Amino acid sequence: MRKYLFLLFKLIIFFAIFAWILKSVNINEAIKLLQKTNLLYFLLAYLLNNLSNIFLTIKWHRLATPLGIKSSFIELLQLNYISTFYSIFIPGQASGELIKGLKLTKKEDSNQSVWMPIFIDKITNVLIVFFIGLIAVLYDNSFKNNLGVIGLISTITISLFLLTLILFSENAAKITDLIKSKLISCLAFFKFNTNFMNNFSLTYFEGYRKSKTILLETLFWSLLTKIPHIFSFYFLALSLTIDLDIVQSAYLFSLVSVTSLLPISFSGLGVREGTVIVLLSQLGISNSSALSLSMLIFITGILIGLLGGVLELFSGLKPQVQPNK
């Protein structure tokens, strides 16, 4: 029953946002702006998104190798694209991560060593998104005097940074067990199956202690993963002759990334558009232009996802065959 109520709640929010967009935006004008898109800038934005996926895979490979993951860099890159494909059709970006983990678990014939790198990857990605947003807000004249916004972003950023430190500390096992018990209780409340989490522990986490630089490497690659997205937003704005600088593109990217995590709609549709419209209106940019930019962001994601769909059909990812003893 709770499951259906939650679904109904999401649908109400989605249609409310969609109705607000239709009321606030001149759709015909937005379509005309899209038709005038500069394809060269759009192509640059698309290539930058692919570059980000490569950096993300380097990071994931670095986190996975000490834990005994045997998949090659190319196989992990394929899984990242496939993850993007599924995140388009299943509400919330985390859904793609779930599919990625399940596929790698089957391939590696392992559970604990697969999910830990994915969890750390997600936490550090969100940390860097908030860090970029905080820096951008502090440097932008429109927001740097808003102490409420700065305080909220700072609090979240510091909290995520402390969580990251804990994950790489000696007390990681105790903290993880506490988080696991709370998460299991939460999932059980919504009638989700929690069997896959019951035996989760940090047994394989010992592999990280052999490397003194893995924390810094993880944060470095997380930052390098997000920078191409910022420039992608910048070039997409240029393709529509929207006047956005790099700093504004940075906090736009940060806010869109955070709101897209909400499991309300498919691939963040509606939530992303509403976020872009509200934020860009503060910069004096018309709602039609904002909607056009949001749709280009969506189209870029769709093209990346379709590539993942093709890889899903032809990647040939197979479970590891264990040798006979």
pLDDT in tens, 242-272: 988 898 899 889 888 888 777 666 667 777 8
Do residues 301 and 267 lie in contact, with contact meaning Cβ atoms separated by under 8 Å?
Answer: yes
Render pLDDT for 146-175 as a digit per residue (tens, 0 to 9). 777 788 888 989 998 988 887 777 666 666
Return d(Cα 172, Cα 66) in angstroms, integer: 17
Is pLDDT larger for residue 324 or for residue 177? Answer: 177
- The answer for residues whose C-beta is within 8 angstroms of residue 116's C-beta and 6 or more apart is 63, 67, 202, 204, 205
Q: 246: which 2 tokens?
A: 């790099």
pLDDT band at residue 320 using 50, 70 and 90 as cut-offs: very low
**Percentage of the chain exceeding pLDDT 70:** 77
Report pLDDT for 267: 67
Of 107 and 278, the one with more pLDDT: 278
Q: How confident is the model at residue 319 (pLDDT cuts 50, 70, 90)?
A: very low
